[in-house]
Each structure stands twice: as structure tokens, then as C-alpha cells.
Amino acid sequence: MKEIELQYRHPPDLLDDGEIPSDIRTEELVLNMGPQHPSTHGVLRVVLQTDGELVLGATPYMGYLHRCAEKIAEKVTYRQFTPYTDRLDYLAAMNNNLGFALAVEKLGGIEVPPRADYLRVIFAELNRIASHLMATGSYGLDMGAFTPLVYCFREREWIMDLFEAACGARLTYSYITIGGVREDVPEGWGDKCREFLDYFEPKIAEYNDLLSFNHIFINRTGNVGICPPELAVAYGLTGPCLRGSGLAWDLRKATPYCRYHELDFDIPVGHGENGAVGDCWDRYFVRVQEMVQSVRIIRQALDKLADGPVQAKVPRVVKLPAGEVYYEVENPRGQLGFHLVSDGGTSPYRLKIRGPSFCNLSVLPVLAPNCLLADIAALLGSIDVVMGEVDR
């Protein structure tokens, strides 16, 4: 054992001069958090170095859910790979479908009909809301509050019903395909979607009263895991993790795709309202605010949804010209990118996927030191990783 000086957030009894008593001796302990721990949100193992309740270091170990998705892409056709994208970030399958379809369409020069573009926006934003509901509800559960999860699941079920009515699935959809969407929405679907938006929008205030502005939740998340903007950029953070640090960067505004350039919405960022800019609370609250903006986007897209085809004239077996393309979309967890290389065949020669959860998780070893052990659950939940996307 060795005697070391520590700065505790909640220090033990100190001497009058502020020093730790000499008879207190500490020893480092290595703990495994996961891969079965509920707060890791999947099969993630984090090796923690601790000194009492103080965390000295945290190292994430991944790969428990590795399924060789990128290698599989080389052995199947472009259309056949669409269901595999559902299983990356399985809480935002529509957004994954969209990213891959846009990459193929850009390399193939495929033009999507306007109605399909607006439907893509509607379904992508509905899935963003569903994903953020899961993120905020489960984050409350991580902090010891069970009720927010029940509230969030109540609204999420309505979105799942809308998805099921359109494509027959509730988790993995393969609805957004190369050239548009698989089929048009049934008659009356738009009215049901508006009914959901009218019901859902006032519920966001309930989440804020129940969780966001709860003083216990604020004490657990404010001034914890502070990520300054320059650190967020250096580690390639995107999505709410980047915007929570105060940077208004969103691909839907910076490099618009589909019909986002025709729609009016704001980019929520962290302001340090209950601590420092870039803390766990800011990252959480950006997601709550993004749900408000998604409601705005969906309403506008529904207003612009005119009659017409929902699928471009694309062969059943897509064959792309030789070349390569990199395309990114703004997923609920950040920028999802597809680097697609074609040799002129019906399958990708090479496919590299940039998963936002993987990049966002890379900052954990930097933010964890000097946090308390209980803060690790708050830190992981604020990053909001999905292991299917991390491991791929």
C-alpha cells in the first residue's frame, strides 16, 4: 500500500489545515462493471480503477456483440444488406436504413421521388423521438427513478403502432429502402400521426417536471462528466454528446439531405443551466429539447406530403458503378457514416461504417477520472450508447 493525496468531491473528516489525516491509508482496487451490469445498457465491460469511492481510471472493453456486419456486406447484395443496418443501432433502425440507402443512391445517381423524401423525414424523426424516449426514460432508471421509464414507454408504444401500421414491424423495419420507401403508408395514417403529435407534445412538460428539473436528478447529473467543447471535437463526439457541450453542429442543417433544407427547426445545445456546460445534465436535456424540434419537423413534413410515387425505378438487383462514396446522416446518437466502395458489381467491394456510439464512447476514459463510483452510471447513461452499433 502507498499513501497518496486525493481530492474528494465529498471529503472525509479533515484536519484543521485541510490535510487528510496521516493515519488514513488508501489502496487501489480494480472493479469490473459489466458486461452484465444494467447501467452499461448492453454487453459493455468497463474496468474501473478506484480508490475508495473515487474513480482513478475507466477502460471500456467492447466486442461482446460483434457480428461482422461490414464483412457480411461484401457477401450480400445492396438490397439484402438493408436488414443488417436495422441491427446496428436497433433503437433507431429507420435512421440506419436511411443512411445506407442515401449512400447507395449517391453512388448510383438514383433520384428519390418527393413523397418518399418527406416520408423518410417523417419516419426518421419519429424514430428519433422513440430513441430519445428510451434514452431519457432509461437514464432516469439509472439514477434511481422508475416512473419516467413507464411514462416514456407509454408514448413510445404509440410510435411503434404507427411503424407497425406502415411496415408491419415494431423494432427492425427495413422500411426505408434504396430508391425510396418499401410501400406507401395506409389511408388515414397521416391523421393518426398528427393525433400522436397533439397528444405527445404536452407530455414533454411532464417529463421535465418529473425528471429534468427534479433536484435529486440535477444533483446526480449536474457538474458531473464535464466535456468542454474542444475535448468533444478532439474525440470526434457527435449528436447530443457534441451539442451538449455547446456546439450547434447538426448535419440536418450543415449538410442537409432528404428535404431538411425546406423545413424550419432549431438546434438545441447545452447552456450549463444546472452546472457546467457539457455536463451529464446538458447531454440529457439536449435530447429532451430535440424531441420538441422533431415534432416541429414532422408537422411540416406532413403538410408538404403530396400524392405521388414512393419508389424510384430501381432494378430489384442493384448494380452500382465502380467508385466510392462516404455519406453521413444525423442519427439520434450522432453522425452515422457509410464509406461504400464499389467494383461495379452487385455487392459492396468494401463497406466501412462509422458508428456514433463507438466514437462517443471513446471519451469515457477521459471523463471518468476523479468522478465518484456512482457517477459512472450517470456518465454512461448521458453518452447513451447502443452496443449493436459499437461492436457491429
SS (H, E, C) 215-276: HHHHHHHCCCCCCCHHHHHHCCCCCHHHHCCCCCCCHHHHCCCCCHHHCCCCCCCCCCCCCC
pLDDT on residue 5: 44
pLDDT of residue 12: 47
Q: Is the peptide bond before 114 cis (omega within 30 degrees of 0)?
A: no
Q: Taking Cα atoms as reference points, which of 392, 373, 357 lies closest to residue 58?
A: 373
Tell me which H or E stretch contains 280.
helix 280-304
DSSP state of 38: G
What pLDDT is stored for residue 2 in this prediction?
Answer: 42
Three-state SS for 92?
coil
- pLDDT profile of the chain (392 residues), mean per 10: 42 50 72 81 88 90 89 94 92 94 94 95 96 93 89 93 93 93 94 95 92 92 92 94 94 93 94 89 95 96 93 91 95 95 94 93 92 90 90 84
Helix or strand or coil: residue 331? Answer: strand
Spatial CA neighbour of 122 closest among 241, 294, 289:
294
Confidence at residue 144, expressed as pLDDT on a 0 to 100 scale: 87
8-state DSSP, 333: T
Structural domains of the chain, count = 1
> Residue 302's closest CA among 331, 272, 263, 275?
263
Beta bridge partners of 331: 334
Count of C-beta atoms within a 10 Å radius of residue 274 = 19
Which pLDDT does position 21 carry in this prediction? 59
pLDDT of residue 22: 58
Residue 222 lies in a domain: yes
Neighbouring-strand partners of residue 160: none
For the chain, the helix, strand and coil percentages under 3-state DSSP, each to the nearest 5: 45, 10, 40
Strands 323-331 and 176-177: unpaired
What pLDDT score does 10 carry? 44
Residue 250 has a pLDDT of 93
Containing structural domain, residue 231? 69-362
The answer to the question of residue 385 being in a domain is no
45-51 and 54-61 strand pairing: antiparallel
> Three-class SS of residue 111?
coil
Nearest to 371 by CA among 265, 220, 160: 220
Beta strands in the chain, from DSSP E residues, in sequence order: 29-33, 45-51, 54-61, 176-177, 180-181, 323-331, 334-342, 350-354
pLDDT of amino acid 328: 96
Instruction: Answer yes or no: is 267 within a domain.
Output: yes
Domain with 113 in it: what CATH number? 1.10.645.10
354 in a structural domain: yes
pTM: 0.90
The answer to whether 257 and 251 are in contact (CB under 8 A) is yes
The pLDDT, as a whole number, for residue 28 is 85
SS3 of 375, please?
helix
Question: What per-residue confidence (pLDDT) applies to 19?
Answer: 59
Whats the size of the chain, residue-wise? Answer: 392
In a domain, 30, yes or no: no
Give domain status of residue 40, yes or no: no
Contact, 140 vs 149, CB < 8 A? Answer: yes
Give residue 59's pLDDT: 92
Whether 126 maps to a domain, the answer reads yes
Asked if 132 contacts 283 with a C-beta cutoff of 8 angstroms, the reply is: no
| pLDDT for the residue 272 | 86
Whether residue 343 lies inside any domain: the answer is: yes
Helix (H, G, I), strand (E, B) or coil at 351: strand
pLDDT of residue 23: 62
Spatial separation of the C-alpha atoms in residues 87 and 69, rounded to whole Å: 9
What pLDDT digit, counting tens, does each position of 291-321 carry? 999 999 999 999 999 999 999 999 889 999 9
